[in-house]
A and B are shown apart, each in its own frame.
Chain A
């Protein structure tokens, strides 16, 4: 440091300090360059006619293909079907999920005993940490046509005469995906809202009490407006992530019988790329997905800035 002062450097900019800082960052930098930046060259594949045997050099040397890969995909019947499923499951799922999370958070906040409140939170967070493989298999077992819980109950109540094979019927798939995700993530998704609610100024509630506000009125006019910022940010994230299905979940629940309603963008990329080895087409779908996601993020942010003065950027 003394040396650098002599040379007119500010402290902390001397060679030894900089060297130490950069070496601390070295492993992370190498890993990021290698496993995040280098793979971006893979996006070139969308515009190439690439064959697996060509290896890593082929990414650069294989012949250009123009927009041929995109044309094949957009013309494909499967593509439209999986786009509908992706958007459908995500739109309905996010709408239900956000409303349920806000509602649940509001009622958790109403619990007066702190101990019970933390028990409710601990228990309902738990399924979030169980893998989708395990949770998905449990869902499949619960819905099984051979003596699964739902069929047993429906048969006993006399609602149905013969068991329904839920997992093999495409028309139930959206509901199964949305509801199973709701049960698994409901508790966890309230975490940000309960945190936001606990930060609301208590004087606002006291003032509302003096005005004789009912419980519902306090939620409507005090709590909800106070956590508006959090809600807006969660909606922006939901809209931006609308092309991202939960691969882990959908892939477990998917089977050849329900494929027409269960094929989503990520399982489609897996199928086209890793199973059929159509690398160019898979890369094209990936680019399509990324561009759409960035546009959606920008749009959601713009709309929320206009409407509520709250945005991400």
Chain B
């Protein structure tokens, strides 16, 4: 940049920085809002409304009742174990499939391509899965979280495939000359060379599994096997409808600032604490996992 422009440039950068900081504040604020209100006392919320910047009256009551709740603990355990098992096995099975699929000398490739694209573009729908899971006797069991989720879909196969194709052929050839089997080639050469894509897709699977609630909503009915996300959904739904009913009534009385009753506010702070708890693992691993995200999307974008 030349010197005449530099002053203008500086001012421009200041404005740009301000706008960017504002956008960052807007994206972070919702999480901050739920954190401070989960740490706020219910009395304060029912008196002054929800806190905006800092807790009006600091209190750990809601966190205490969340951490004491056995239902939440169970849901946490189910979600955690499910996420770990599905992430490991799904990444393994999908990358294994993709390795076979990426080899030029694979016979019967047409068959695999056919079922792959069929599964990618067509979907039997919720009802078909309901009937199938009932027939397999995994409906309303813990297995419904695991078995149907062990394959990452053909789209991920394509992503792995693109990566495997980038591995130089000479590596495979020299391994074969040394008498290595396909298993050895896959586990000793391909996997170590594909760490970035494996981590990226693994993280996406883990986040998706952790956040998923539809599997619980569609294919289970007993509360013993509900996931954390589903538990959140059910308390959000019940508190929202309770609050709205209350509101429509009090709005009719035309008071200037309607606030919640003490018990409703108490319920709300517990809900918020629960929300923060379920988002916490993601927020903690986020900075470490972040560098893989971009890679993960990039490998997706180069699919041919």
Residues of A at the B interface (CB closer than 8 Å) are 1, 10-13, 16-18, 20-22, 24-25, 27-29, 31-33, 35-43, 45, 55-56, 59, 104, 107-108, 110-112, 116, 119-120, 122-127, 129-142, 144-149, 151-152, 155, 161-163, 165, 167-168, 183, 186-187, 191-192, 195, 215, 230, 247-248, 251-252, 255-257, 269-270, 273-274, 279, 282-283, 286, 290, 294
Contact = CB atoms under 8 A, between A and B. Distances in A.
Contacts of B247: 144-146, 163, 165, 168
A205 B233 CA distance: 50
Contacts, number: 316
Contacts of B244: 145, 165, 167-168, 255, 257
B282 A55 contact: no
Contacts of A252: 233, 236-237
5 contacts: A22-B108, A28-B94, A28-B96, A37-B118, A41-B128
Given A139-B30, A145-B244, A148-B49, 17 more contacts: A24-B99, A24-B100, A40-B122, A43-B125, A119-B24, A120-B23, A124-B24, A125-B293, A131-B211, A136-B236, A138-B30, A146-B264, A161-B256, A163-B257, A167-B244, A192-B301, A195-B301
B229 A195 contact: no
A131 B210 contact: yes
**Residue among A29, A130, A146, A148 with the most chain B CB within 10 A?**
A146
Interface residues on B, range: 35 or more
B225 interface: no
A145 B45 CA distance: 13
Given A21-B182, A56-B132, A195-B301, A247 B236 contact: no
Interface of B: 12-13, 16-17, 19-20, 23-24, 26-28, 30-31, 33-34, 37, 45, 48-50, 52, 93-94, 96-97, 99-101, 103-108, 112, 115-116, 118-119, 121-132, 134-135, 148, 150-151, 154, 157, 176, 181-183, 186, 207, 210-214, 217-218, 229, 232-233, 236-237, 240-241, 243-244, 246-248, 251, 254-260, 264, 268, 271-272, 275, 278-279, 282-283, 286-287, 290, 293-294, 297-298, 301
A262 to B, nearest CB: 12
B45 A191 contact: no
Nearest to B181: A20
B49 A147 contact: yes
Given A22-B100, A43-B124, A36 B118 contact: yes
